Structure 1
Amino acid sequence: MATIRETLEEISRLDGVQVSVLVSDDGLVIESVGRDGSNAEPLAAVASGSLRASEMIGTELAKGSTREMVIIFEDGAVFIVLVEGKPAILVVVSNRGANLGKIRIGIKKGVFQLARII
Structure 2
Amino acid sequence: MVDLKQTLSRFLAIPGVRQAIIVGRDGLMIEGMTRDGKEDMEAVGAIMTTGLSTAEALGQEIARGSVVGVIMEYEHGLVSVDPLGDFALMVTLFDSASNLGRVRHLVRTSRGEILEALDIA
Fold match by TM threshold 0.5: yes
Aligned equivalents of 2:3, 2:98: Cα separation in 1? 26
Counterparts of 1:54-93 in structure 2, within 5 Å, are: 54-84=55-85, 86-93=86-93
The CA deviation at 1:72 is 1.4
Q: Report the residue type matching 2:79 in the other structure.
A: V
RMSD: 1.5
Would you say 1:50 and 2:51 are equivalent positions? Answer: yes
Aligned equivalents of 2:97, 2:61: Cα separation in 1? 34
Structure 1 residues 97 and 83, CA gap change in structure 2 (3 angstroms): closer
Q: Deviations over 1:50-82 (max 9, x none)?
A: 001011101111122212111111211111001
Moved over 4 A (4+): none
Identity %: 27
Aligned equivalents of 1:92, 1:16: Cα separation in 2? 11
Q: TM (normalized to structure 1)?
A: 0.90
SS of 1:104's equivalent in the other structure is helix
Aligned equivalent of 1:3: 3
Aligned equivalent of 1:26: 26
Aligned residues: 117
SS of 1:99's equivalent in the other structure is helix
The answer to whether the Cα contact below 8 Å between 1:15 and 1:98 also exists between their aligned partners in 2 is: no
The CA deviation at 1:112 is 2.8
* Unaligned stretches of 5+ residues in structure 2: none
Aligned equivalents of 2:111, 2:69: Cα separation in 1? 11
Q: Report the residue type matching 1:81 in the other structure.
A: D
Aligned equivalent of 2:16: 16
Q: TM (normalized to structure 2)?
A: 0.88
